[in-house]
Structure 1
């Protein structure tokens, strides 16, 4: 029994020792690969499998050489993968599978660094960081193009980290120039934003803003991130960006949306006209400008300024018509003209209702005139709502307008049909075909 116990203990010790030495198997396979990259690709796979297994053992995680070996293996994987992707020579199937080899390589060297006990031991680690930099940059860009933004961010962030480590040790970095460093920071911030890591992106963008880095997107992004907490303070970024990049259309659109949120319609008109001058074929700009004038028309009518109201009404109609002239199937513009006439009828109806109890000759006459005017506006609105329904038979607003107009015209069957169609949508269904044909 005693002899069996010692045999079991010996086996345990042998097994533990074997696990601790697994990283040397990886090192051996890797060294064989380096002798002939072209013919020994299988050895790189063996090296990866062995190092991944070895680094799962706690005892290996305390060995500096094990981490350096892992860093070298994953840098080589990154190099081989990039060579296949950029030159088309070789096959990815011949190489080890690793989604983020440059990230793995950097992380291995970073874990090796605290284990250094002698100054000369940092040499391999710093060389590993330098080699990893190019791979982190390239893999970050590839991931970005493939819309893998979290992965792109991880590569770019470690590229920045590698630069800091190299600078601490007075070593060369591919980010040594101000332009290279700022561009890497911009890529990191952009990838972080798209990966929904605003907390990471914001300080990077602030640094770029302070450095006056030449990218219009910095100003738009900082505006967007700050608008939720203080829209007026956020606008300072947008305003500064617009002054620095007056021709940048994305900043102009952000400016337009800002003033739309605030309802500053007079300012919007100027900005929308500027946008149309820059993008004359952008139909949505004409529609938005038409809606701004429509809004101003309703305000003027409510205030009793008939002359100004008519001016705004005509301007709205003009821009909606310009939109349709550029795209006859633009449902927003088509619907908006119908709504413009419909709303005019609604304003007139409100005024008409004030005369309901006026039975004087003059009052009755005015009431009749207004009623005729209301129906005239409905008649003008109806063709546009019909066209809008033909283009989109499932728009709720269009169906409501058609139901109401047909009811007011005493066309009850048509009104019931649109009520039924409306109920289909409200029940989660869809109308397969429009009622009106184009």
Structure 2
């Protein structure tokens, strides 16, 4: 019996302690609001009292969750003041992760408890509505802070909670900070961008589609809708390009949309359409070396296509254009490995295709055939000789690139320099076996 009474006393003390915490929280937050600049300790006391999980009657009491939302909201507002004015210190304030979202969640819970309770007073409902109106601004600010810190998951939680606030307020006939159509569009845009940057495409898609239908004046929505529809298991490039094309027509000077279109045509290997678009991009950003390299690659592929089709004159023109744009890249960035390798590879492939022609001519023992053979053979050696210095420079920049080492090995074999070829082959085997060449072979 004594043990049973002792147990009951413990339960009673526990309940009283929880009730005392709620009272302490109310007292502390009231004291803090009277003079918030005097001491942050009262806010800390209020949080310490209200943050533990509720027990007993508090579990179903809307007032408990309204108080919790109020205290968290106050902390969120103080953080915003410090960040926006620079007065005070964030270190002086209590630290609560996701404070604005937690305030919103507490207020939503309060509304749920109010709806479930029998004869719950109406003033609790009004207090919850007021709290949701207040937290809406905090959610937006914390969304911005998280987005700027590239914490896109937290940014999405804050921004989307702000949208949820609006839905709750409008359902109950209350005013919302998103009643203004432009404010609502901006909020949807930021929410969508946060979701997209956090790889939450399913959450982002309806937001950007709403903005598209509303003719929202921002080119980023067209790029976003393109990215959403062009990627993933349900990718639809036709639907994706529809958005991109619309955006390009509406914002013809927008460089990001132009680059997205270039990448689209690269993905589809529509080379002929790429040349003019890349030239346009170069005119917009003449100091961007990547554009020259990309255009060189396009002309390189066009050269190979036309040469394979037997259109030697057109192939020659494309070869020259590839060389020009690769060199223009090197003018912007003389140590660009990709450009150096690409020029070497351009000549190397030319030598390889001519070598195939030599194989065909080898069976022609006529004087004309032999003369043709010697002429093409000379072209082969010229092409390899022109490729060599570019591969050497590329190897100097990256001594572990297997393609560069293969090309160098083959060129030195053809130049009848087996010692050099074998040395390079050893370095190639080292890389293929998982090793690493600490220094370059051509390190002059």
Conserved? CA contact 1:320–1:336, under 8 Å? yes
Conserved? CA contact 1:32–1:40, under 8 Å? no
Matched, 1:212 2:208: no
**Structure 1 residues not aligned, in runs of 5+:** none
**Residue-by-residue CA offset, 1:221-268 (whole Å, 9 max, x unaligned):** 111111132112211011111111111111111111111111111101
Structure 1 residue 138: deviation in Å?
0.9
Partner of 1:365: 371
Structure 1 residue 336: deviation in Å?
1.4
**Residue-by-residue CA offset, 1:98-136 (whole Å, 9 max, x unaligned):** 122111111111110122234332211111111111111
Partner of 1:161: 164
Partner of 1:130: 133
**Residue-by-residue CA offset, 1:392-423 (whole Å, 9 max, x unaligned):** 22222211111111111111121122222222
Matched, 1:100 2:98: yes
Number of corresponding residues = 436
**Residue-by-residue CA offset, 1:257-301 (whole Å, 9 max, x unaligned):** 111111111101111111111111111111111111111111111
Structure 1 residue 12: deviation in Å?
2.5
Q: Distance in 1 between matches of 2:121 and 2:23?
A: 21
Q: Distance in 2 between matches of 1:121 and 1:15?
A: 26
Partner of 1:85: 83
Partner of 2:425: 419
**Residue-by-residue CA offset, 1:348-394 (whole Å, 9 max, x unaligned):** 11111112333333333322222221111101111111122222222
SS in 2 for 1:156: helix
Q: Distance in 1 between matches of 2:327 and 2:129?
A: 66
**Residue-by-residue CA offset, 1:123-165 (whole Å, 9 max, x unaligned):** 1111111111111111111111111111111111111111111
Conserved? CA contact 1:399–1:418, under 8 Å? yes
**Residue-by-residue CA offset, 1:327-366 (whole Å, 9 max, x unaligned):** 2222222221111111111111111111233333333332
Matched, 1:285 2:291: yes
SS in 2 for 1:37: coil
Partner of 2:436: 430
Q: Distance in 2 between matches of 1:100 and 1:405?
A: 62
Q: Distance in 1 between matches of 2:17 and 2:334?
A: 77
Conserved? CA contact 2:15–2:55, under 8 Å? no
Give the TM-score normalised by the residue count of structure 2: 0.94
Q: Distance in 1 between matches of 2:60 and 2:19?
A: 10
Matched, 1:297 2:297: no
Q: Distance in 2 between matches of 1:154 and 1:288?
A: 39
Conserved? CA contact 1:20–1:57, under 8 Å? no
SS in 1 for 2:51: helix
SS in 2 for 1:354: helix
Alignment partner of 1:309 out of 291, 311, 315: 315
SS in 2 for 1:176: coil
SS in 1 for 2:361: coil
SS in 1 for 2:150: coil
Distance of aligned partners of 1:47 and 1:190 in 2 relative to their CA distance in 1, 3 Å threshold: same
Give the TM-score normalised by the residue count of structure 1: 0.95
Q: Distance in 2 between matches of 1:56 and 1:409?
A: 84
Partner of 2:117: none
Partner of 1:40: 39
Distance of aligned partners of 1:58 and 1:274 in 2 relative to their CA distance in 1, 3 Å threshold: farther
Partner of 1:238: 244
Instruction: Please give the root-mean-square deviation of Cα atoms over the aligned residues, in Å.
Output: 1.7
Partner of 1:65: 63
Q: Distance in 2 between matches of 1:361 and 1:256?
A: 50
Partner of 2:18: 19
Distance of aligned partners of 1:302 and 1:8 in 2 relative to their CA distance in 1, 3 Å threshold: closer
Conserved? CA contact 1:112–1:125, under 8 Å? yes
Structure 1 residue 326: deviation in Å?
2.3
Query: Where do 1:171-320 residues align within 5 Å?
Result: 171-228=174-231, 229-320=235-326
